[in-house]
Structure 1
């Protein structure tokens, strides 16, 4: 199966719903919301799946894309997709393994944009948000988009992160976080 991203580029995906690629209209909405802030940014793609969000960021000029993906088959697809779209001056890296276990390896690094799209029933939302805050992975002026089901989704407040906007696109919802006192 293939999907198309910015510039009519085709990406590979795995068959079935194992990686559930972000819907085209949701991808487009995220990049419209963040337009003007992708070029030159540092992008973190959590639960990367097919890597479509990181690939889109590379196509739109992100300077560096880092992803985390647990499933080995998906990781191979992510690397192929990013290699296909990255320009020579752009850097990308895929960390393989559990997202909660890999986040401490990013301590000391900050990202301008973070996209987090785990399996909706995974129970990863709270621990990942807490790790992002604890390790200060989101840049002070950065923003994080969390994809989730619009039904029955809640997280406990994180002292240093705040919700700055929420959007619903059919069966997909996005909640955007920022570091407290930063502007969306």
Structure 2
């Protein structure tokens, strides 16, 4: 998995203002987009994204998506490029959220919104204000151990459609229990990362 670049203070050098990711499929295929090099931010790598979106190819067109812990926006942007109906990006870090908004403006993606707030705050409000989602990406910072609380809150908020898919990315040795009724559809381990796709 790509990791954010560490500051290089030798010889007076500093970290770059932005890093880049590449969209690998759909209408923006090959497009390189900037993201803020925030500590702990690790965009899902090209190979993992290719695997994930191969899994989702029949569910994605027109889908209403939620990219929690969006970071660089790699998953949500890939979903938009491949035909998702809309994406809500949730990102706590102000700089990362602002950079993501800028990239969406450049792409003229009017079917996406960026929410600069904690995931738990968005989920608490969305349960009252948002329509249900067809696809949810859960890929939090690995050091935060946020999977369980997020999954529990997502399930309790009734934010999933009847045939929703939920993608969870975690360390390969991390156990991530899910609510009753979530069926494991796909699973793959790549290096130190475990990819899991659940369906309702």
Find the aligned partners of 2:37 and 2:115 in 1 and give their Cα distance.
22
Q: TM-score, normalised by structure 1?
A: 0.88
Structure 1 CA distance for aligned equivalents of residues 189 and 182 of structure 2: 20
Report which of the two structures shows the higher radius of gyration computed on alpha carbons. 2
Structure 1 distance, partners of 2:60, 2:104, is 16
Stretches of structure 1 that go unaligned for 5 or more consecutive residues are 180-184
Q: Deviation at 1:82?
A: 2.3
TM-score, length-scaled by structure 2: 0.81
1:42 positional shift: 0.5
Identify which of 101, 108, 119 aligns with 1:99.
Answer: 119
The aligned length equals: 176
User: Cα distance, 1:40 vs. partner?
Assistant: 0.8
C-alpha distance in structure 2 between counterparts of 1:156 and 1:56, whole Å? 27
Q: Which residue of 1 aligns with 2:34?
A: 12
- The Cα shift of 1:138 comes to 2.0
Shift of 1:62: 1.1
Say whether the 8 Å CA contact 2:65–2:134 is kept in structure 1. Answer: yes
Task: Name the counterpart of 2:198.
Answer: 177
Structure 2 gap ranges (5+): 1-18
Q: What corresponds to 1:163 in structure 2? A: 184
Aligned equivalent of 2:87, options 58, 61, 65:
65
Q: 2:178 and 2:86 mapped to 1: Cα distance? A: 29
Deviations for 1:95-127, whole angstroms, at most 9, x for unmatched residues? 111111211222152111111110112121011
Deviation at 1:129, TM superposition (A): 0.5
Offset at 1:145?
Answer: 0.5
Which secondary structure state, in structure 2, belongs to the residue aligned with residue 100 of structure 1? Answer: helix
CA displacement 1:77-99 (0-9 Å, x = unmatched): 22122223344xx5111111111
SS in 2 for 1:145: strand
- Structure 1 residues 157 and 112: CA distance shift in structure 2, 3 A: closer
Offset at 1:143?
0.4
Q: Residues 169, 85 of structure 1: CA spacing in aligned structure 2 closer, same or farther, 3 A cutoff? A: farther
| Aligned Cα root-mean-square deviation (Å) | 1.7
Q: Secondary structure at the match of 2:89?
A: strand
Give the structure with the larger strand fraction. 1
